[in-house]
Homo-oligomer: A and B are copies of this chain.
């Protein structure tokens, strides 16, 4: 029922929130980091989002999406991921650029176009980056996986999804074959937040913990 057109900025905030919502409460600092804005700016925006009822901010605790906000965010994810499918499967756009290009298109997509696109694509359930595509009503089953950083040493797992958003980060992961469907084993976790040593496709790869957070693997 909420047909007020959200601004591009607002959409980015909502998307970031839903993508960061492993834990319920998202610290404003993390949000600001992901969006590449200052904490002050993020604070201002969160205030505005709160006024629109999209978000609940508990000072010193964090931000959480409301029902309304989560619905809006799922819709945004749906549009974005449908575009990723189209760009990858039909336009043959490079995997590393999918997020960036789909993100731009997403903001410019009317509901009618979204649904027509979904039908054209045959209502896919998963985007090329491994993430589930929310249904038109906003419902979707989150991935049943854990960040690579939490995988036990020695355990092999399959990559389910790659959630990085910065194209340079995506490229970095792509170059190391850290892609959905590939198998990884954590050989070693260096102390003091040091890098992980991974075994991917028969090669050893060192990966910073921050990067490992972006990779969701099966349990």
Contacts and interface: CB of A to CB of B under 8 A. Distances in A.
Interface string A67-106: 0000000000000000000010011110001001100110
The oligomer's copy count stands at: 2
Contacts of A108: 104-105, 107-108
A117 B91 contact: yes
B117 A109 contact: no
Contacts of A97: 112
A91 B107 CA distance: 18
B109 A92 contact: no
Which secondary structure dominates where chain A touches chain B? helix
A120 interface: yes
Contacts of A117: 91
Interface string A97-133: 1001100110111101100110110000000000000
A40 B108 CA distance: 28
A110 B116 CA distance: 22
Contacts of A109: 104-105
A114 to B, nearest CB: 10
A97 B111 CA distance: 12
Contacts of A105: 105, 108-109, 113
A119 to B, nearest CB: 8
Interface of A: 87, 90-93, 97, 100-101, 104-105, 107-110, 112-113, 116-117, 119-120
8 smallest CB-CB distances across A and B, nearest first, come from A91-B116, A104-B108, A108-B108, A105-B108, A101-B113, A91-B120, A90-B120, A101-B110
